[in-house]
Structures are given as structure tokens and as C-alpha cells.
Amino acid sequence: MIEEGERVVLIDERGRKYLVAAEPMQLHTDLGVVDLSTVIGQEPGARLKSHTDKEFIVLRPRITDYLQKMRRVPQIMLPKDAAQIVAYTGVGPGDLVVDAGTGSGALAIFLGNLVRPNGHVTSYEVREDFARLAEQNIREAGLSDIVRVKLKDIYEGIDERDIDLVTLDLAQPELALPHVELALKPGGHLAVFSPCIEHIQRLYQELPKYRFTNCRTIECLVREFEVRPGATRPRTRMVAHTGYLTFARRV
Amino acid sequence: MIEEGERVVLIDERGRKYLVAAEPMQLHTDLGVVDLSTVIGQEPGARLKSHTDKEFIVLRPRITDYLQKMRRVPQIMLPKDAAQIVAYTGVGPGDLVVDAGTGSGALAIFLGNLVRPNGHVTSYEVREDFARLAEQNIREAGLSDIVRVKLKDIYEGIDERDIDLVTLDLAQPELALPHVELALKPGGHLAVFSPCIEHIQRLYQELPKYRFTNCRTIECLVREFEVRPGATRPRTRMVAHTGYLTFARRV
Amino acid sequence: MIEEGERVVLIDERGRKYLVAAEPMQLHTDLGVVDLSTVIGQEPGARLKSHTDKEFIVLRPRITDYLQKMRRVPQIMLPKDAAQIVAYTGVGPGDLVVDAGTGSGALAIFLGNLVRPNGHVTSYEVREDFARLAEQNIREAGLSDIVRVKLKDIYEGIDERDIDLVTLDLAQPELALPHVELALKPGGHLAVFSPCIEHIQRLYQELPKYRFTNCRTIECLVREFEVRPGATRPRTRMVAHTGYLTFARRV
Amino acid sequence: MIEEGERVVLIDERGRKYLVAAEPMQLHTDLGVVDLSTVIGQEPGARLKSHTDKEFIVLRPRITDYLQKMRRVPQIMLPKDAAQIVAYTGVGPGDLVVDAGTGSGALAIFLGNLVRPNGHVTSYEVREDFARLAEQNIREAGLSDIVRVKLKDIYEGIDERDIDLVTLDLAQPELALPHVELALKPGGHLAVFSPCIEHIQRLYQELPKYRFTNCRTIECLVREFEVRPGATRPRTRMVAHTGYLTFARRV
């Protein structure tokens, strides 16, 4: 049963989502106004009506809902790329993670959700405004116990030790390598996200100086399909490039 | 400290991996013979020598190591695709999952690792030989408490209720839809893997008959790069197609 | 030397192109007004100034300029796809081609340019407005002697014989197959463009009934790159799908 | 009617091609022996039998047949990429082309076929063994009047002037730029093929020093499909990278 103040997702007839709180407020949509106090006491799956009699379904949010709806700085790592970090490093429950830079916290939240309940994510950010925004997003996703934002330049050093995974989404990831080597436990993974090829070229100049093996660089492309009777085809346009992902394992 | 009988990963100088047990056995490689009893009592990161004086590094295995080294039936879902299920459904710690068919258990193990320690995966398989192989792989990955293989045809029904995620890798996923609708909790996700476009076409003929929203079909392509001084380029050949992934959410 | 009435391309400082005639007219651009009568008597490569002293370079147009600048109906076959017809069929000077439907004539013009001076393209179109538009585009590209638009439904029959290449961009290409078999010379090629997978599925149901070999279906994807100092990367967005191309050879 | 000594293509029942001469010789295949003297006097489309009664169809070769069957040095430019040069530069009948390096002549032959009957291709090659092989391939494709191999280092200079298209497939294309600028007519195109990203990076450092506009770099990917009843899907593996193509236009 949904309690007062709890966060919920409403889905309208077209599949559009609204991330709101169950509280005495009104949600204004182009399908009419929904009285959010009527959400309190409902079970997930319940149907509400807007004042124009349009149906909205009440659901408990999943992490994907928070990630889609959170406030963000211009560029965030997309789930398709964050997911490849799971594929290549096996990050999961109990892992200790260091992340930099935080940005709006999208990757830290994604990873924080996966390392619950015993793991931890420390996310380094130098810009105070980004750190504040990320902390708010982390709180709304209910991950304040798991993800901590640290206002510090990771090029200056990493305080944590015995880390399972370090993720870097920075302009000069190569400057963090000496600290990453110290922070990672043997067998721990490094994952670096780089929009441009020059970042990778510089990274690979430095990587051989440190104790890493299994260095790999990939690009992940996701094509969406339109499946309609008699008219099945890939979408006309797609996101063709977000960035390259480089993985390496500490030995 | 590594104890007797514990599973470990050895990595040789070329980055090649060996998944073995710390016990009085010998590992024969093209870089010489390693006495595995010497692994006992070591810390992760320790270096061993083969009888030809080649170095091997000892690590604790991660889930990715188990997935790479497990015995498998011809076709398994690749991590790049399994990871997209994380991206689109947010599956994570505590989730209840139903999976079919099990095959060698690769996807069940991947998901089982992510829903630890309080979640659960029930994996349906009709072929007893596959079920036995999968159970062995699950045991070796240390996930027997989390992942259970059920010898049953999922087209006949799903026993579980209030499920967060159902994953289907079957010839006729549309036959499982009535059972999936009953098994999923409101807001729960369905993920279907289909190598051929005709599977998707049949699936979309049936999907509108059930309570699903946000139906999407994607294809995930991963390109690997060779990054060498003066010679950076995508790999000449790649896996161009494994299958399509279709996602839908129960309302 | 450029003569009065001749078509020319002007390129401004940003690389933007204008396809105009050398005649007493004015070209109005956001970089100022250019007096087109000053083009007469110039050599290709000459530089003109607009009234705001911006430079424009005069060039003789190539077929690519005509194709980029022609008036078109919503969907035209892109050069990337038209070019694959060259790659797979070897269409070139002297070839006899039948094309349907004409649309705005983009493919007929592309092919007409390649079969010059002794080849010929007959392009079938059922809509009179499209046929008129295409004829105008063909005239402007200087290909009236090579490309003829025929106002006829190709499903009713093909009048030509001993053809090297038939290209079909139609909703039901399978209906043209009996006529294509009669029109093509032995060794001649069929190329079919289909936006949706269902077109291909229907085509392959019918193809085995006719005398074709080497049936192949491809999709051509072109990624553009941004090459900037320190910031080289694929473009963020791309055209991900235009259509599938199916090739078959008459035996 | 096929004359003695003429080159023909035989296609067997599986679609496999044989490029042979109509002369008193025997073709030995795994479907039996074909007496090639029986080809003389036949019309294209005629059917022959091997001594094991398997059918072979006689066709006149097209340029694609020569390109597929010619002797080649390890790496040749694939038709998919050569065709993009048509798409971006509009190369066609009557054009004057300079090409370097020749290699086995694949690109020179492809372009020579397109510029017939009044155009010309001069192809620069420094290795005498490659030049000899290319000349033989050009002769067999019947293009000796159109394509000439020049044993000269293009880094030393280009003798030709008023050229429509220069194609470079070289380790250091940037060294040819001053000569390309002199050789190209205003409005003429440069097309550079580069397997590695570093080639492009060096090229773009030099390009701004010369009179070029509309610089673009692309990558062309071709996916093949398997279309079978109930089992339509992209091929499992594909050629994921051959090289990048950079285009620029002389002003």
C-alpha cells in the first residue's frame, strides 16, 4: 500500500511516465489534472482518473524511472553504456566502487543501486554545483546510504582502498591512473568513458606504466526497432555515438 | 587469504585466464605447469611461477570470470545483451526473477549475481540435460541459494507471483504471455530475446492482448577497438548479430 | 569559360552550395547578394564577391550537386544506397536500365549519369505529378537524352528487353518479378530497395519461382566523423535506417 | 554469340562463379569437368553440362565479376567503399582520375569501368611487382585503353593536370596534398582511404593549408541478411571495419 509522501510513477494511456510524490498536490498534464492525494493508500497497479476522465496507472518506481526523470547536467552516461560496465566488470551487490566525476550522479546512482545493500559508491566531483545536484538526485533515488559524493579532485588522489571498480568519466583519465592503481584491489576493474578518440590514445600511452591486464576498448551501439504490422524496420535515426568504454583489470 | 578448495583465477603474462581450485592438483598450460596447492594461503594479487619460471597472478574470481569459463550449450546470451536487460529494466538486488529457458544457465547466473542477497531467480527448462548442466554451473558460481532451475515447460504456466522481471529466450515467447501477465507484479518488466525477426513479429501480434505498456525492441552492437600507437582502429571483424531484445512493462 | 545560361555551383566561405544559372539575376544569401551575370565569361575556380564583400567560388556542377539540390518528393534513395547498386551490379557506361517507381527521379538521374553516353534509363512512374517533377529534374541535370520517364504501372509489364539492370523501389516489388525476368538479359541484375522487412519477406517468397541466382540482402550504414584537434569522434546522431537492398542475378 | 577466346562467367547450381576463357581447355570443379570449347558459339544464358551432368550457365562477365575473381594483394578496397566514392564525388563517364597506390588495381579498375569511354585513370605505384600484377588485372578486365599504371612515387609529384578525382590509399596521404592541389581542377574531388584514425588525424592537420572545402570523413558498414522462411536475421558475423573515407573538394 502506498503511503503518504512515497514516490510513485504514474503512466498515462500513451505510456508516458510521471515521477511524483503521493501528497496533497495536483499533477497538471495535457491529459488533464490528477489529484495526487488520491494515490495514498492505493496498491501498485491501481488506476486513477484525471479530471478529464483519462486513466493513469500507479506504480512503484524502479531505478530506471529515477534515472530517466532525474535533473541532469547536459551530458550523462546513457544506461546502454553504464550497462556495459556490468557486462565487462561484473559489478554487483557488495562491491566497493569509486566514481569520478559525478556530474549529475547518473552513473553513481546506477552503480549504487547494483551494489546494495552492502556495497558502497564514493563519487568524486570538483564542481560544488554538480555535487549538490547529484546529492539531491541520490536522495530522491533513495540511495543516500549507499552513494556518497566527495568534493575532491580525483587527480589529487583516491582515499579509498581495496576497491572493486573505479569508473572514470573525465577529460584526462590518464592523470588518475597512479591513484587508481593504489585504490583497486588485485583483480579489481577500471572502466573509463571517453567521448573522443584522443582520450583513449593518451590513456593507452600511460596504461602500460601501471599494473593492468586485459585492456579492452569498445563502443556500444543500440538500435531501436519499429515493429508494426507490415512495417517492421529500424528507427530512421539513432544516437550513433556517446563514447568509447575502456576496461582494464588490476593485477 | 585463499583457503583450500576455494576457486581462484590465474592470469598469465598474456592476460589469459584459468579458473581453477586451490587444491593439490597441477595446471598444465603452454607456459608450463603450475602446482595449484601453492595457491593455498596466498593473498589475491600474489604471483606464482610455473615450472618454466613464467609468472601467474592469483585473483578471486568475479561473476564475469565464471560466465566466461563455464561449460555451455552452443548458444548463450552474451553479456552485452544481458547487460541491456539491466539498462532497460533496472534489475538489481532484491528482485524476484523468472527466466526461461535456462540453457546452460548463463543469463540465470548473470541475473542471480545481481539480485543477491535477498532476491531470487527461478529458471524454467524442459530439457533435463540442460537443467543438470545449468545447476552445475550455478553451483560453481556460488549461486545455489539464489538461482533455482525448475524442470518445467513455461508454456504450461508460471507458478511464481509478484515477480519483478521475466526473461524469455524461447522459440515461441508469445505462448508464455498469459502466464507472464499473471506472474509479474504491476510495474514489473518482461524482456524477450529473439534471434530472428519473425519471433518479434509474432510477439507483437500477441502483446496488445495483455496488460503491457512501453513495448520496445532494440538491438545491441558492440564494436571492439585496437588501440596501438599510430594504428588505432575498430577490429576488422565483429559479432554483427546475436538477437533482438524486446522489453515491455506490466501495468 | 562559362557561357550565358550555363548552370553553375557557387560555394560560399562556409562551404554552402548554390546551384544557379549564369544569367542576369541576383542570388540573395545571408552573406549578401551576388550578381549572377558576373559569372558569365569566368573560368571555373573564379572568385566573386557579394555586395557585402563575401567571397563565392564558381564551379561547374557535378552530378552530386544536381542530386543534392534537386526538388524532391519526401523520400528519395540516398547516394549511399544508390552507390551500393554500383558495388553489387557493376552498372556503368553503356548499360540499359529499367527503374521503377521514378519518384522525383533521384535514382534514375544517378544511374543515367553512370550509363552515359551510350546507355539508357527508362523509369516507370504511375503518378503524373511525380513524372513531371522527375522530368524537370532530369532536364536540369542535362540527362534528357539518357533518362526517359514512362507514365506506366510496372506491375502491368515492362516493354523493354535485353536489360542490364532493373531497379525497383516499390511497395510490392514481388508483383514486378515476372516482367523483370522477361526484361533482363541473362546475367543482368535486379536491385530492390525496401524500407521494411516485410517487403523482403514477401519478395523472397516469390523469388524462387523465377530464374534468379546470387540473391543477397544488405543494409548500408554510413557514419560521419567529426575530426577536430583533440576531439575526433563519430557524429552524435546518424541516419540509422533508410532501407534494405536486395540483389539477384538473372540466369 | 560468344567467340573463341572471349572471357565468360560460368555459374553452377549453387551460384558459384568461374571466370574462364572460351577455348579448348577443361574446367575442373567439384561438380565435374566442363569442356570450355563448348562455350564457343553459345549465347549468354546458355546451359552447359559437366561430365557428371551438373548444369552450368554461361554469362558475359560484368566488372563485378572481374573484381571478384582477379588476383590480388592482401588488402584491397572493397566495392562497398569504392562505391561511396561514387556517392560522394559523382565520378562517372568522361572523368579524369589519378589514383595511388595501385596495389592489385582493384580501385583503378572499378573507376576505369565508370569513366569509360572518354575518361582516363592514371594509377601511381612504387612497387614494380604490384604494378605488373595490376597491369595484368587491368588487361583481363578489358580496360587497358582506360587505365594506365605509372611506376612513380606520388609523394614526388603528380604529372597530370585538370583532374576530376584523385583517390589516395597510402600510408601518408598528407604528403601528396601539395601535388593533389595542383593536379585537381577547381571543383574536383579528393578521396582518401585510411584504415587507422591516426592517418585521418594527420591528414586534417595538413588539409587547412590547401584550397579544399567540404571536408568530410565517413565510415561505411554493410550488413548482410539471411532471409529464410521464419528465420530472417542479420548475419552473425560481419566485416566491421575496412577503413575511413575522407572527401574534400578543391576550390
Cα distances (angstroms) measured from residue C116 to each of B132, C120, D85: 68, 7, 18
Cell of B22: 586451490
Domain contains B238: yes
- Mean per-residue pLDDT for A154-173? 97
Look at D64 and C90 and tell me if their CB atoms are within 8 Å: yes
Do A42 and A153 have their domain in common?
no
Residue D150 C-alpha, separation from nearest chain C C-alpha, in angstroms: 25
Distance, in Å, from the CA atom of A63 to the CA atom of A68, rounded to the nearest integer, reads: 9
Q: Say if residue D74's pLDDT is above 70.
A: no
Which of B43, B57, B50, B71 has the alpha carbon at shortest distance from B10? Answer: B57
D-chain residue closest to B219, CA distance? D234
Are D187 and C62 spatial neighbours (Cβ–Cβ below 8 Å)?
A: yes
pTM of the model: 0.94
Tens digits of residue pLDDT in D208-232 = 999 999 999 999 999 999 999 999 9
Q: Are residues D118 and D228 in the same domain?
A: yes
Choose among C231, C236, C237: nearest Cβ to A198: C231
The whole-angstrom distance between D185's CA and the closest CA on chain C is 8
Chosen from D241, D242, D244, D245 to mutate, greatest number of chain B CBs within 10 A: D241
What whole-number distance in Å separates Cα of residue C161 and Cα of residue C54?
53
Classify C32 in phi/psi space as left (phi over 0), alpha (psi -120 to 50) or beta. left
Interface contact flag, B239 D237, Cβ < 8 Å: yes
Contact by Cβ (8 Å): B193, B245: yes
The ranges of chain B with pLDDT < 50 are none
Contacts of B153 (CB under 8 A, 6+ apart): B124, B126
Residue C12 near residue C31, CB atoms below 8 Å: yes
Contact A187 B45 (CB under 8 A): yes
Q: Which is nearest to C75 in space by CA: C192, C246, C195?
A: C195
> Which chain C residues are within 8 Å of A174, Cβ to Cβ?
none
Mean pLDDT of D71-87: 89
Q: Are C90 and C114 in contact (CB under 8 A)?
A: no
Neighbours of chain D (3+ CB pairs under 8 A): B, C
User: How far lies A193's CA from each of A155, A173, B234, D126, in Å?
Assistant: 16, 9, 17, 42
Question: DSSP 3-state assignment of C107?
Answer: helix
Where is the domain boundary, D61, D86, D103? D61
Q: What is the dihedral of CA B110, B111, B113, B116, to 10 degrees?
A: 180
Q: If we measure between CA atoms, which residue out of D153, D155, D151 comes closest to residue D130? A: D151
Residue B107 shares a structural domain with residue B167: yes
Across the interface, do B230 and D195 touch by the CB < 8 Å criterion? no
Chain C CB contacts of A235 below 8 Å: 240-241
The answer to whether B98 touches B122, Cβ cutoff 8 Å, is: yes
Rounded to an integer, the average pLDDT of D6-18 is: 93
Of residues A231, A235, A241, nearest to C198 (C-beta): A231
Task: Produce one character per residue of B97-115: b if its CB has 16 or more CB atoms within 10 Å, e if not.
Answer: bbbbbbbbbbbbbbbbbbb
Secondary structure class of A250 (helix, strand, coil): strand
Domain membership of residue A111 (yes or no) is yes
Neighbours of chain A (3+ CB pairs under 8 A): B, C
- pLDDT higher than 80, residue C48: yes
Tell me which chain A residues have a C-beta less than 8 angstroms from the C-beta of B58: 186
For B177-181, which contacts have Cβ atoms below 8 Å and span 24 or more sequence positions?
B177/B203, B177/B206, B177/B207, B177/B209, B177/B210, B178/B210, B179/B154, B179/B155, B180/B210, B180/B250, B181/B210, B181/B211, B181/B212, B181/B250
C-alpha cell at C101: 517507381
Whether residues B215 and B188 share a domain: the answer is yes
Q: Based on the domain organization, do D41 and D124 belong to the same domain?
A: no
Cβ pairs A/B, distance under 8 A: 182
Q: CA of C242: which chain A residue's CA is closest? A: A236
DSSP character for D9?
A: E
Residue A55 in domain: yes
User: Mind telling me how many Å the CA of D9 is from chain C's nearest CA?
Assistant: 9
Is residue C2 in some structural domain?
no
What is the reported pLDDT for D46? 93
**How do residues D175-209 score in pLDDT, each as one tens digit?**
999 999 999 999 999 999 999 999 999 999 999 99
> Looking at the structure, do residues A92 and A200 belong to the same domain, yes or no?
yes
Residue C188 distance to chain A (closest CA, Å): 29
State mean pLDDT over A62-91: 90
Whether residues B232 and D196 touch (CB distance < 8 A) is answered with yes
Q: For cell 601535388, what's the residue? A: D179
CATH of the domain at C51: 3.10.330.20
Give the A:C interface size as CB pairs under 8 Å: 54
Spatial CA neighbour of D192 closest among D208, D211, D209, D207? D207
Tell me the mean pLDDT in the region D136-150: 96
**pLDDT tens digit string along C98-154?**
999 999 999 999 999 999 999 999 999 999 999 999 999 999 999 999 999 999 999
Which of A43, A185, A218 shows the shortest C-beta gap to B224?
A218
Q: Which chain B residues have a beta carbon less than 8 Å from that of A200?
A: 225, 227, 232
Interface test with C, best of D68, D97, D190, D213 (most C CBs within 10 A): D213
How far apart, in whole angstroms, are the C-alpha atoms of residue C224 and residue C237?
A: 9
Which chains pack against B, by 3+ Cβ pairs within 8 A?
A: A, D
Using CA atoms in the order D41, D43, D47, D49, what is the torsion angle rounded to 10 degrees?
10
Instruction: Tell me which chain D residue has its CA closest to the CA of residue C202.
Output: D229
Q: State the total domains in chain A.
A: 2
Q: Is pLDDT at D129 greater than 90 in this prediction?
A: yes
Q: Is there a single domain that holds both residue D55 and residue D100?
A: no
Rounded to a whole number of angstroms, the distance from the CA of D215 to the nearest CA of chain C is 9
Substitution target in D220, D225, D232 with the highest count of B β-carbons within 10 Å is: D232
Do D56 and D95 lie in a common domain?
Answer: no
pLDDT greater than 80 at residue C220: yes
Nearest to A239 among C198, C231, C236 (CB): C236
Q: Which chains touch C (3 or more CB pairs under 8 A)?
A: A, D
Which pLDDT band, with edges at 50, 70 and 90, does A74 fall under?
A: low
- The mean pLDDT value for A184-212 works out to 96
**At C223, is the secondary structure helix, strand, or coil?**
strand
Q: What residues of chain A lie within 8 A of the CB of B235, using their CB? A: none
Can you tell me the mean pLDDT for A95-107? 96
B189 lies in a domain?
yes
What local confidence, expressed as pLDDT, does residue B74 receive? 67
A109 and A176 belong to one structural domain: yes
B18 domain residue, yes or no: yes
The mean pLDDT value for A148-175 works out to 97
* Inter-chain touch B240–D234, beta carbons under 8 Å: yes
Q: How would residue C192 be classed by pLDDT, with cut points 50, 70 and 90?
A: very high
Residue C96: CATH number of its domain: 3.40.50.150
- Show Cβ contacts of residue D193 under 8 Å, excluding neighbours closer than 6 positions: D77, D81, D167, D168, D169, D243, D244, D245
Partners of B184 on chain A (C-beta within 8 Å) are none
Q: pLDDT exceeding 70 applies to what percent of chain C?
A: 100
Tell which of B198, B241, B245 to mutate to test the D interface (max D CBs under 10 Å).
B241
Mean confidence (pLDDT) of chain A: 95
Residues A196, C237: C-beta atoms closer than 8 Å: no
In a domain, B233, yes or no: yes
Angle, in degrees to the nearest 10, between helices D106-115 and D79-89: 40
CB-closest option in A79, A219, A221 to B87:
A79
Question: Does the residue D1 lie in any domain?
Answer: no
Which residues lie across from B225 on neighbouring strands?
A217, B234
Which residues of B are less than 8 Å from D234 in CB distance?
Answer: 240-241
Based on the domain organization, do D43 and D73 belong to the same domain? no
Q: How many CB atoms lie within 10 A of CB C68?
A: 16
**Domain boundaries, position B108:** 65-250
**Which of C195, C197, C235 comes nearest A241 by C-beta?**
C235
Q: Specify whether A212 is located in the same domain as A149.
A: yes
Of A67, A90, A118, which is closest to B63 when you measure between CB atoms? A90
- Asked if pLDDT for residue C74 goes beyond 90, the answer is no
- CB contact under 8 Å between B64 and A251, yes or no, is no
* Integer Cα distance of A48 and A11 in angstroms: 10
Pair (D21, D108) in one structural domain: no
CA B152 to chain A, closest CA, distance in angstroms equals 29
